């Protein structure tokens, strides 16, 4: 295995990326096509409202190594990548953003690490250009919270830029959940994993497609899909407030029976009532989060629909990496 270059699929989710997509394709090709192996680039158009889809179709006409999946609407980044993973045929699959924030030039290095026997090579953001202090801060907080609460360790400062071996891709494709946090799932499946540090560039063009609303949803998905700690917190909070209520009852009874100063206790009672009411609301909210999740999972809906899938190359065509005829051009 060592030394040979495997067949490569690159999965690229695109949402309203008309300004950057051609440059993205150029940069990707300039790296991949020189590796000297079978490759395909799978562009997933996630229901773009601009010219991304026609541009991708044009690319498809001009380049035999391209597959284009057009989703029927905007399903979100994580689902778009999932669609790409299901179609990708290569022995290794690389997930990369279409805005060139993840440098394609890192791919040969990732493959080199894969050749050392790692099944997952994930990018770790060493520095981030062109992102606001707020975004960096919230991203950091997100990973800290998730790792504190969840049962699996999601490496800090990772995104979805990563290389997956076929075994890892097959494992990912077997996870059926609807609310997907790929970086968490990818950590959960196990295998030998390697974190490769890189400097995250600024967007080549356009603006972020992750407004606060989507970031919050991703964070919630992460916490609730990988952890039942919030549910336990509810019980602990309930227990604490129950203990305080017992103390309060004893206190009130002592005052009532042995003293005459029991009328002024109203303030304390009032505050106590508000606090317990608030706690109950929060607890209900957290339980509701999980019930909501059970509801969406129970509906068993397909993750996405495609409007069209354009591809010329079948699975049989992707050579296995044991194939010695593949030339070696990594250095
Ligand atoms: N993206 C997508 N669907 C969405 C949002 C984003 O396919 O609903 C794609 C987007 O085109 C980009 C990648 O996901 O290739 C990452 O999005 P973005 O760069 O906006 O996120 P950020 O880098 O700001 O976290
Ligand atoms: Mg980006």
Structure confidence by residue, pLDDT tens digits, 194-224: 999 888 888 777 887 777 788 788 778 777 7
Q: 15 and 120 share a domain?
A: yes
Report how far ligand 2's centroid is from the alpha carbon of 49 (Å): 18
Q: 89 and 237 share a domain?
A: no
Model pLDDT, residue 268: 74
Please indicate whether residue 241, judged by its CB atom, sits closer than 6 Å to ligand 1.
Answer: no
Query: Taking residues 76-103, what's their average pLDDT?
Result: 93
pLDDT at 82 over 70: yes
Report how far ligand 2's centroid is from the alpha carbon of 177 (Å): 24
Residue 146 confidence class, pLDDT cut points 50, 70, 90: confident
Model pLDDT, residue 88: 93
Residue 3 confidence class, pLDDT cut points 50, 70, 90: low
pLDDT in tens, 21-33: 999 999 999 999 8
Q: 22 and 144 share a domain?
A: yes
Between the alpha carbon of residue 233 and those of residues 35, 230, 236, 237, 238, the distances in Å are 51, 5, 5, 6, 8
Of ligand 1's listed atoms, the one at least distance from the Cα of 17 is: 11
Q: 306 and 269 share a domain?
A: no
Q: 106 and 85 share a domain?
A: yes
Model pLDDT, residue 263: 67
Give me the number of domains the chain comprises.
2
Q: 112 and 251 share a domain?
A: no
Please indicate whether residue 200, judged by its CB atom, sits closer than 6 Å to ligand 1.
Answer: no
Contact 4, 323 (CB under 8 A): yes
pLDDT at 128 over 90: no
Q: Between these two residues, 69 and 158, which has the higher pLDDT value? A: 69
Is 14 part of any domain?
A: yes
Please indicate whether residue 209, judged by its CB atom, sits closer than 6 Å to ligand 1.
Answer: yes
pTM of the predicted protein model: 0.76
Model pLDDT, residue 87: 92
Is 250 part of any domain?
A: yes
Shortest-distance ligand to the CA of residue 74: 1
Give me the percent of the chain exceeding a pLDDT of 90.
37
Q: 18 and 128 share a domain?
A: yes
Report how far ligand 1's centroid is from the alpha carbon of 163 (Å): 18
Q: 107 and 249 share a domain?
A: no
Q: 29 and 146 share a domain?
A: yes
Q: Between these two residues, 11 and 228, which has the higher pLDDT value? A: 11
What lies within 8 Å, CB to CB, of 302 at 6+ separation is none
CATH of the domain at 166: 3.90.550.10
Is 182 part of any domain?
A: yes
Q: 91 and 161 share a domain?
A: yes
Residue 327 confidence class, pLDDT cut points 50, 70, 90: very low
pLDDT in tens, 272-312: 787 787 788 788 888 888 888 888 788 788 889 988 888 87
Model pLDDT, residue 323: 42
Q: Which of 77-91, 100-114, 196-210 has the lowest mean pLDDT?
A: 196-210
Is 328 part of any domain?
A: no
Give CA torsion, residues 128, 132, 133, 134, to 10 deg. Answer: -120
Report how far ligand 1's centroid is from the alpha carbon of 326 (Å): 33
Is 37 part of any domain?
A: yes
Q: Which of 65-79, 174-188, 260-274 has the lowest mean pLDDT?
A: 260-274
Query: Which residue segment(s) compose the domain that 244 sits in?
Result: 229-299
Contact 63, 32 (CB under 8 A): no
pLDDT mean across residues, the chain: 83
Report how far ligand 1's centroid is from the alpha carbon of 21 (Å): 12
Please indicate whether residue 166, judged by its CB atom, sits closer than 6 Å to ligand 1.
Answer: no
Q: 32 and 67 share a domain?
A: yes
Query: φ and ψ at 14, to 5 degrees?
Result: -135, 130
Residues 168 and 187: their CA atoms lie apart, in Å, by 10
Of ligand 1's listed atoms, the one at least distance from the Cα of 44 is: 7
Mutate-to-test residue for ligand 1 from 11, 56, 77, highest number of ligand atoms within 8 A of CB: 77
Is 157 part of any domain?
A: yes
Report how far ligand 1's centroid is from the alpha carbon of 103 (Å): 15
Which residue owns the Cα nearest ligand 1 atom 8?
A: 76
Q: Between these two residues, 331 and 251, which has the higher pLDDT value? A: 251
Residue 2 confidence class, pLDDT cut points 50, 70, 90: very low
pLDDT at 83 over 70: yes
Model pLDDT, residue 173: 94
pLDDT at 160 over 80: yes
Is 264 part of any domain?
A: yes
Query: Taking residues 43-70, what's their average pLDDT?
Result: 92
Please indicate whether residue 290, judged by its CB atom, sits closer than 6 Å to ligand 1.
Answer: no
Query: Taking residues 28-49, what's their average pLDDT?
Result: 90
Q: Which two tokens stand for residue 286?
A: 């957290």
């Amino acid at each position: 295995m060592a030394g040979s270059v495997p067949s490569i699929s690159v999965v690229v989710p695109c949402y309203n990326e008309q300004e950057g997509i051609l440059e993205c394709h150029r940069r990707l090709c300039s790296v991949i096509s020189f590796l000297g192996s079978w490759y395909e680039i799978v562009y997933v158009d996630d229901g773009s409202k601009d010219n991304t889809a026609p541009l991708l179709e044009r690319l498809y006409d001009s380049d035999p190594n391209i597959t284009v999946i057009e989703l029927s609407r905007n399903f979100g980044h994580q689902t778009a990548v999932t669609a790409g993973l299901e179609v990708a045929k290569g022995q290794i699959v690389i997930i990369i953003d279409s805005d060139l924030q993840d440098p394609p030039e890192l791919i040969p290095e990732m493959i080199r690490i894969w050749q050392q026997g790692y099944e997952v090579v994930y990018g770790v953001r060493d520095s981030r250009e062109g992102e606001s202090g707020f975004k960096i801060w919230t991203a950091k907080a997100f990973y800290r919270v998730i790792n504190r609460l969840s049962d699996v360790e999601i490496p800090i400062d990772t995104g979805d830029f990563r290389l997956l071996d076929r075994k890892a891709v097959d494992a990912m494709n077997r996870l059926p959940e609807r609310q997907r946090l790929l970086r968490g799932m990818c950590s959960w499946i196990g295998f030998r994993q390697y974190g490769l540090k890189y400097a995250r560039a600024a967007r080549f063009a356009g603006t972020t497609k992750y407004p606060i609303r989507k970031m919050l949803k991703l964070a919630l998905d992460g916490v609730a899909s990988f952890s039942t700690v919030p549910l336990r917190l509810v019980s602990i909070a309930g227990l604490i407030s129950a203990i305080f209520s017992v103390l309060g009852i004893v206190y009130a009874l002592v005052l009532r029976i042995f003293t005459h100063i029991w009328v002024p206790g109203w303030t304390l009672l009032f505050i106590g009532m508000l606090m317990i009411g608030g706690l109950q609301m929060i607890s209900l909210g957290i339980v509701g989060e999980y019930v909501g999740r059970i509801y969406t999972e129970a509906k068993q809906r397909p993750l996405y629909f495609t409007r069209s899938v354009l591809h010329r190359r079948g699975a049989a065509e992707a050579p296995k990496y044991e194939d010695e005829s593949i030339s070696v051009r990594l250095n």
